[in-house]
Structure 1
C-alpha cells in the first residue's frame, strides 16, 4: 500500500504544471535525469511511468515525421533494451532531462520501412 501511494504521489508531482515556467514539454520527460535516478533507486516501478511517456513521445515524433513524408524510426525494439538505454543515458547525463535521453535513443533507432 505504501509503495502504491508513493508511486501515485510521484505521478501527481510529475504531471503537475510548473507555474511560471514556459517549457514545450510536460510530464515525466521534463524531469531531470538526476531526479529520475533518485526516484528509480527508491522505487524501480516508477520506470514504467517514464517509459510509457517515452513511448508516447517517440510515437508522436514518428507521426509528425510520417505526416511530412519523411522516414520514421522503428519503435518495436525490446522494451528492456530501451529502458536500459534511458537509465544509462541518465546515469551519464544527470543534468539533462529524461526527454534528452529519449531523443538520444530515438536518433539511434533504425528507420521504419513500410511494406
Structure 2
C-alpha cells in the first residue's frame, strides 16, 4: 500500500493546488482507465471494485500530500458524513453518467466534493 501511495504521489507530482493545470499528466494504475472499463470490469465483482476504490483512495491521498502548505491540511478523506461506501457509490454513479470519461475524472470530482461538501 505504501508503494501505491508513493506511486500516486509521483503521478500527481505535476499537479498544482490539487488540480491539473494546462499541462498533461500521465496517470498510471487501474484507475487510469475509462469509466466504461470500470463499469464493465466491476459488474457483479465487488472485489474488483475494491481494487478501483483502493486506487482512488491512494490517488486522493497523493493529491493531499502534494497540496501546498496551508491547503487541504485538515481535509478528511473519510468524513462521517461521506463514508467510504458512499464515496464508492459516488464513483459508480459518476461513471454510469459519464462512461466516456476517465475513472480518475470521477476521483477528481470526489476529491473536490470532499473539499467542499454540500450543506
TM-score normalised according to structure 2 size:
0.68
Summarize the Cα distance change of 1:63–1:84 in structure 2 as closer, same or farther, 3 Å threshold.
Answer: same
- Seen in structure 2, the aligned counterparts of structure 1 residues 23 and 109 have a Cα distance that, compared at 3 Å, is closer
Matched, 1:38 2:64: no
Which structure 1 residue ranges, 4+ long, deviate > 4 Å from structure 2?
none
Q: Which residue of 2 aligns with 1:50?
A: 52
TM-score using structure 1 length: 0.70
- Please list every run of 5 or more consecutive structure 2 residues that lacks an aligned counterpart in the other structure: 1-23
Structure 1 residue aligned with 2:107: 102
Q: Name the structure with the higher helix share.
A: 1
Aligned partners of 1:28 and 1:98 also within 8 Å: no
Q: Is structure 2 residue 72 aligned with structure 1 residue 71?
A: yes
Using a 3 Å threshold, how does the CA distance of structure 1 residues 97 and 71 change in structure 2: closer, same or farther? Answer: same
Larger radius of gyration: 1
What value does the CA root-mean-square deviation take over the aligned residues? Answer: 1.8
Distance in 2, matches of 1:35 and 1:70, equals 33
Unaligned runs of 5+ in 1: 1-21
Alpha-carbon contact 2:72-2:115 (below 8 Å) kept: no
Residue in 2 that maps onto 1:89: 94
